[in-house]
Chains A and B, each alone.
Chain A
Amino acid sequence: MQDKLKNEVVKEIVITEKGSLGLLALGDIGLREWRKVKQRETNNNVNEEG
């Protein structure tokens, strides 16, 4: 599952469930967006299993 984050500085970053150092270096926005992707992935897995 991938998502795209547009930060305030016109960068586009591909977000995977595993995240990346680049995402962490983005600070609060990067951390939050990565967790959203992780959460969505977890939910998807639960739905699939269910």
Chain B
Amino acid sequence: MSMKKAKVLLIGWDAADWKIIWPLVNSGQMPALKSLMSKGVYGNMSTMNPPYSPMLWSSVATGKTPDKHGVLGFIEVNPDGNGIRPVTVKSRKSRALWNIFHNQGLKSNLVGWWPSFPAEPINGVVVSDKFQKVNKDPKIKTNIAKGTIHPDHFTSKIRDLRMFPHEVTDAHILPFIPKASEINQEKDASLATFAKLLAENTSVHAAATNLMRTTDWDFMGVYYDLIDHFCHAFMKFHPPKLAAIPDTKYQLYKDVIAGAYRYQDMMLERKLELIDKNTTVIVMSDHGYESGHRRILKMPKYPAAPALEHRNFGMFVAAGPNIMKAKKVFGLGLIDVAPTILHMFNLPVGRDMDGKVALEIFKETNEVKYIDSWDKIKGEFGEHMSDDDHLLSDKETMQQLIDLGYIDKPDDNVEIAVLKTNCDIKHNLARVYLGKKDYEKAKAILLELVDKDYPVYKESSINGKNKKVLERQGFKIGDSVVDKIPFYMDLLKVALSEKDYNLSEEYLKILRTADKRFEINTSVSEAKILIGQGKVNDALKCLEQARDKNPNSLVWFQIGKAYEKINDLENAKIAFESAIKFETDSAKSHSALAKILYELKDYEESVDHALTAIELVKYFPEAHYTLGQSLEQLGDLENAKKAYETAASLKPKTFYRAEAAIENIKENLEANNCFRDKSEYRYRENQIVIVSGLPRSGTSLMMQMLSAGGLDILTDKNRTADHSNPKGYYEYNPVMSLHKDNTWLGKAKNKSLKVVAPLLKFLNPEYRYKVIFMNRDLTEVIKSQQRMIGKNPEVLPTKLFQAYNKHLKQVEVWKNKEPGVELIYINYKDVIDDALTIAHKVESFIGLELDKQDMMACVDGRLYRNRV
């Protein structure tokens, strides 16, 4: 690893989703990404709410949530308040990675980042997100506006690298749309959309490859909106076919989405050709995209409705000289990217950043360095100094956002357009606070938004230029220009989170009496209120109706919660399992199911689901807590303690239950050093006497003693005596595969059999067992084993030590759980020191008379060689 020579290439694939990627990677259609994955790490990337790309990519660049970095939507109000424009870099209040690198004397290139216009004057080259936006009409010349590229003089070098939609040929179209010639372009604008998106992303790629080839750089960020924008236009045609899609359209466009991923991979391949071996490459998306049955064909008309199709998990792949190889990583969030990249350059992370360094991706880890805040450091950061904003209005970009459905067509009335934009920005900020569970701040903004009196639409507006748009949105004369329904929906969420059910009921009433055009599904909220008010049966009725009408993950989850409330665990389990069937990567459903499985004493399954929840969302204290509970029951106290500690550390307020559990488990861990016998001390008919323990803990000696005492031994004598066990091993070969076949155990009735500790759990419960468990100081056990296999007995492998400790604890749990098992612990040292007492104890345990003198004669103190 060489921190000094580190170079980082960060590639953004907006909306890339593993659900589409995996089949393509597995069928060899994304070879470049596959090669990166095999060389590096890969995993999910959690998104944030609201999942709007300019907000999310600004979080990637700053390591901060949008309330701190200030980018709060697709559009912003001009500083003089006289109009609106696509969001610019001027909205960002916090320094991005490239500003920090500028301050540290490193060179950065940035291409297409959303938002990056106007280009910041950093050390390096910025080709802002305005570069690729050209007029679709070939007759109208699109100049490269001032501020598009930094430094200005670089513009002449890459001016020709913009591709225009009219340049797109059938050679470009056919790999995506093989039957493109059948499209009636007068009625279907899809090809024009396709050409525009392909041209724009090709321009970004051409600029990026040029900078990669012709400039020196330490950090480079390249952002493509290809996949996201193609998904908005063509996902409805992606297989499997949706019933509402006509077959002719499906046949035409079904390959477009896969084509977009393949093209993105081809562009990745080229970039990988242009880097050196010191470069770490990150490919990531900001959110996923629904591709199955949850695709929405008819978007509800409230702001940024298309983001409803954004899935909670995007993708992350990283490979480089200090990145782990072929490893899946868990729990990454967008805010972790900037701190992780700073760490790659050995630079300190701001304590005011919300994300953390993803240390688990590195082969070698240095200690993370911190400073209070990069934003408070004085000096040159390559930021804009002037407030010169006149160049920022951008009709083309606004039109694209409208075409994509991200924003409504702004009102002709500038004042109304500005008012609506300000409301959207405030609402988005409230949603950020909601996501951070800062209900007080969210509530304050939402209440301000609903308490305000807004102007209403007059006849002149409704019948003006925007007539069609306003009609489609359902606005009538006299309607408020700002719709309050989305604000009330979030107020309802806050009230439910704060368990204020009376207030929740009030908000629900307001929503239900409001304009019906939103068709809001309120049954889940109603059920939450009813459950909160203790009317669980009413809640179940309401939910079951909703389920029968439109079964989905949310409804099933709430049904599970209702059953849990009335302690009907079996039905709760079925409901959570159904929720998972509808949405396999719902962390909260996995966590809820884990909790129920714990209650049902199915600890292993509970651990599985708690771990799945944590894999999906690392910051999930409840899931860690349930994991701890189930691990504790399985006897894995060390890991249970870790899980409880994680739960306690993640909860913003004190997690009292986790704290108490940690205290208990510490006591248990201490108490666990004294193993407890479980025995009735009487003979059981057809009992099987098992001698067990860790290898080299004196099991062969005990077998020998039992044999000498007169008990039949089940052994095949395949393993002969040697220096380590001069008196023989007394083993029986089928024991080795006990985990596969335990049907032969009947042969051991009334006999004695040697079974190593990890295999005890596979004993057939058909029989009664008397287990003599040999205990020996673990250090002695491991030393003896090391010596036996020719290794240095003074070197003690810690992991082995921990694993053995775990086995011993599991035996203790297993013994207590199994009704047919009795077990006594015998210390090897006690056998050596006082064989007679031990012989008496064993005789009493087995319930048969043994020849104790012959048993004693087996003990040869000289063989006790690894004493500590």
Contact surface of A with B, Cβ cutoff 8 Å: 8-9, 16, 18-22, 24-32, 35
Contacts and interface: CB of A to CB of B under 8 A. Distances in A.
Contacts of A16: 171
Contacts of A28: 158, 161, 206-207, 209-210, 213
14 contacts: A8-B213, A8-B273, A21-B263, A21-B266, A24-B206, A25-B263, A25-B267, A26-B270, A27-B209, A27-B267, A27-B270, A31-B160, A31-B161, A32-B161
Contact of A18 (B158, B161, B171): B171
A31 B172 CA distance: 13
Contacts of A29: 209, 213
* Interface of chain A: mostly helix, strand, loop or mixed: helix
A18 B170 contact: yes
A30 B266 CA distance: 13
Interface string B201-228: 0100111111001000000000000000
A27 to B, nearest CB: 3
B300 interface: no
B209 A22 contact: no
Contacts of A20: 171-172
B610 interface: no
B207 A19 contact: no
A24 B199 CA distance: 9
Given A16-B171, A19-B172, A25-B270, A31 B213 contact: no
Interface string B172-195: 100100000000000000000000
Interface in B265-296: 266-267, 269-271, 273
Contacts of B209: 26-29
B198 to A, nearest CB: 8
A27 B208 contact: yes
A34 to B, nearest CB: 9
Given A9-B273, A22-B266, A27 B172 contact: no
B161 to A, nearest CB: 5
Given A18-B171, A21-B171, A27 B266 contact: no
B160 A32 contact: yes
B172 A21 contact: yes
Contact of B202 (A18, A24, A35): A24
B175 to A, nearest CB: 6
Among B170, B171, B273, find the residue whose CB has the most chain A CB atoms closer than 10 A. Answer: B171
Contacts of B169: 18-19
A29 B208 CA distance: 11
A9 B213 CA distance: 12
* Interface of chain B: mostly helix, strand, loop or mixed: helix
Contacts of A8: 213, 273
B168 to A, nearest CB: 9
B158 A21 contact: no
A5 B170 CA distance: 21
A30 B160 CA distance: 12
Interface residues of B, number: 25
B171 A25 contact: no
A28 B163 CA distance: 10
B68 to A, nearest CB: 35
B205 A24 contact: yes
B205 A27 contact: yes
Nearest to A17: B169
A29 B271 CA distance: 12
A2 B863 CA distance: 86
Contacts of A27: 205-206, 208-210, 267, 270-271
Contacts of B266: 21-22, 25
Contacts of B160: 31-32, 35
A29 B263 CA distance: 17
B262 to A, nearest CB: 8
Contacts of A25: 205, 263, 266-267, 269-270
Contacts of B270: 25-27
Nearest to A38: B167
Contacts of B171: 16, 18-21
A37 B208 CA distance: 22
Contacts of B170: 18
Nearest to A7: B273
Contacts of B198: 24
A30 B203 CA distance: 11
A35 B273 CA distance: 22
Given A22-B266, A24-B163, 18 more contacts: A8-B213, A8-B273, A9-B273, A16-B171, A20-B171, A20-B172, A21-B171, A21-B172, A21-B175, A21-B263, A24-B172, A25-B269, A25-B270, A27-B209, A27-B210, A28-B206, A29-B213, A32-B161
Nearest to B262: A21
Among A9, A24, A26, A30, find the residue whose CB has the most chain B CB atoms closer than 10 A. Answer: A24
A19 B173 CA distance: 11
Contacts of B207: 28
Nearest to B208: A27
Nearest to B160: A32
A18 B560 CA distance: 58
A35 B205 CA distance: 16
Contacts of A31: 160-161, 163, 202, 206
Nearest to A22: B266
A27 B172 CA distance: 14
A26 B274 CA distance: 10
A25 B163 CA distance: 12
A36 B172 CA distance: 17
A19 B407 CA distance: 35
Contacts of A24: 163, 172, 198, 202, 205-206
A30 B171 CA distance: 14
Nearest to A20: B171
B235 to A, nearest CB: 20
Nearest to B161: A28
A30 B267 CA distance: 11
B605 to A, nearest CB: 46
A45 to B, nearest CB: 16
A31 B207 CA distance: 10
A24 B263 CA distance: 9
Among A9, A19, A22, A25, find the residue whose CB has the most chain B CB atoms closer than 10 A. Answer: A25
